[in-house]
Structure 1
Amino acid sequence: MNIDLIKKIIKEQFFTNFFQPIYHLVNQKVLGYESLFRCTLVKNPEHLFNYALQHGLVHELDTASITNSLREFKKYHSHHLFLSLNVYPSTISMSFFTQFLEELVNSFSIPSRQIVLEINESERLTNLDKLSKSICLLQEKGFLIALDDFGKGEYSFHSLTEINPDIIKLDRCFAKNLANDPKKQETLLYALNLLGESNKIILEGIETEEDMRCAKSLGVSYGQGYYFAKPLPLHMINVHSAT
Structure 2
Amino acid sequence: MTLDEIQEIITKNLFTNVFQPIYHLPSKQIVGYESLLRCSLVKSPDLLFNYAQQQGCIHELDMASISNSFKSFYEYYKTVNSSELFLSVNVYPSTIAVPFFPQFLEKLVKKFSLSNQQIVLEINESETLKDLKQFIKNIIILKEKGFIIALDDFGRGKHSLYTLLEVEPHIIKLDQYLAKDLSKNLKKQKILSYFLDYFNDGENIIILEGIETEEDMICAKNLGIGYAQGYYLAKPHMLSISVCI
- In the alignment, is residue 2 of structure 1 matched against residue 2 of structure 2? yes
Deviation at 1:118, TM superposition (A): 0.4
- Letter of the 1:121 partner, please give it: E
Aligned to 2:233: 228
- In the alignment, is residue 52 of structure 1 matched against residue 41 of structure 2? no
Aligned to 1:37: 37
Kept in 2, the 8 Å contact 1:122–1:153? The answer is yes
Aligned residues: 240
Kept in 2, the 8 Å contact 1:118–1:145? The answer is yes
Aligned to 2:129: 125
Aligned to 1:62: 62
Gaps of 5+ in 1: none
Distance in 2 of aligned mates of 1:117 and 1:39: 21
Kept in 2, the 8 Å contact 1:128–1:162? The answer is no
Deviation at 1:190, TM superposition (A): 1.1
Q: Once the two structures are superposed, what CA deviation does each residue of 1:61-100 show, in whole Å capped at 9, x if it has no partner?
A: 0110011000000111252200000000010011111101
Match of 2:117 among 107, 113, 118: 113
Match of 1:163 among 167, 171, 181: 167
What is the DSSP-based 3-state SS (H/G/I as helix, E as strand, rest coil) of the residue aligned with 1:77? helix
Distance in 1 of aligned mates of 2:9 and 2:181: 38
Distance in 2 of aligned mates of 1:129 and 1:208: 42
- Of the structure 1 ranges 197-206 and 186-195, higher mean CA displacement relative to structure 2 is found in 186-195
What is the DSSP-based 3-state SS (H/G/I as helix, E as strand, rest coil) of the residue aligned with 2:108? helix
Distance in 1 of aligned mates of 2:130 and 2:190: 33
Aligned identity (percent) is: 57
Scaled by the length of structure 1, the TM-score of the pair is: 0.96
What is the DSSP-based 3-state SS (H/G/I as helix, E as strand, rest coil) of the residue aligned with 1:142? coil
Distance in 2 of aligned mates of 1:162 and 1:127: 14
Distance in 1 of aligned mates of 2:129 and 2:196: 25
What is the DSSP-based 3-state SS (H/G/I as helix, E as strand, rest coil) of the residue aligned with 1:235? coil
Q: Kindly report which structure 2 residues correspond to 1:1-243, keeping only aligned pairs within 5 A, or say none.
A: 1-78=1-78, 79=82, 80-197=84-201, 198-236=203-241, 238-241=242-245
- Letter of the 2:221 partner, please give it: K
- Letter of the 1:89 partner, please give it: P
Q: Once the two structures are superposed, what CA deviation does each residue of 1:112-167 show, in whole Å capped at 9, x if it has no partner?
A: 11000000011123343321211110111111000000000001011111112110
Kept in 2, the 8 Å contact 1:9–1:15? The answer is yes
What is the DSSP-based 3-state SS (H/G/I as helix, E as strand, rest coil) of the residue aligned with 1:169? strand
Kept in 2, the 8 Å contact 1:88–1:119? The answer is yes
Distance in 2 of aligned mates of 1:125 and 1:203: 26
Deviation at 1:54, TM superposition (A): 2.0
What is the DSSP-based 3-state SS (H/G/I as helix, E as strand, rest coil) of the residue aligned with 1:105? helix
